Structure 1
Amino acid sequence: MVTQRQTSEDVRLVKYYLIYPVVLDVLQRNIEQIESGNWKLPDIFITHFKLVQKGINKEFYEIKQEMRSRGIKVFEEKRDQKGISAKYLCRGYRHEMSLLWMLVKSETRVKLANTFGFDIGEISK
Structure 2
Amino acid sequence: MTSPTSAPSPADEDHRLIKGLVVRTLLLDVLERDIRTLDTLLLKMPEVYILSLTRIQNQVLKEMLGLRKQMKNRGVKVLEETRGKDGIETVYLCRGYWQRFYMLWTFARNEVKKELSRHLQMDLTQI
Q: TM-score, normalised by structure 2?
A: 0.88
Q: Which runs of 5+ in 2 are unaligned?
A: 1-8
Partner of 2:90: 86
Q: TM-score, normalised by structure 1?
A: 0.90
CA RMSD of superposed structures (Å): 1.2
CA distance in 2, matches of 1:113, 1:76: 28
Name the SS for the 1:89 alignment partner. Answer: strand
**Deviation string for 1:33-71 (max 9, x for gaps)?**
111001121111111110110000110111111101110
> Could you tell me how far 1:20 is from its partner in structure 2?
1.1
CA distance in 1, matches of 2:38, 2:80: 33
**Deviation string for 1:43-100 (max 9, x for gaps)?**
1111111011000011011111110111001112111111110111111222111100
Instruction: Report how many residues are paired.
Output: 119
Misfit runs of 4+, over 3 Å: none
Name the SS for the 1:94 alignment partner. Answer: strand
Partner of 2:41: 37
Q: Which runs of 5+ in 1 are unaligned?
A: none
Percentage of pairs with the same residue: 33
One-letter amino acid of the structure 2 residue matched with residue 45 of structure 1: Y
Q: Identify the match of residue 15 of structure 2 among 11, 17, 21.
A: 11
One-letter amino acid of the structure 1 residue matched with residue 110 of structure 2: S
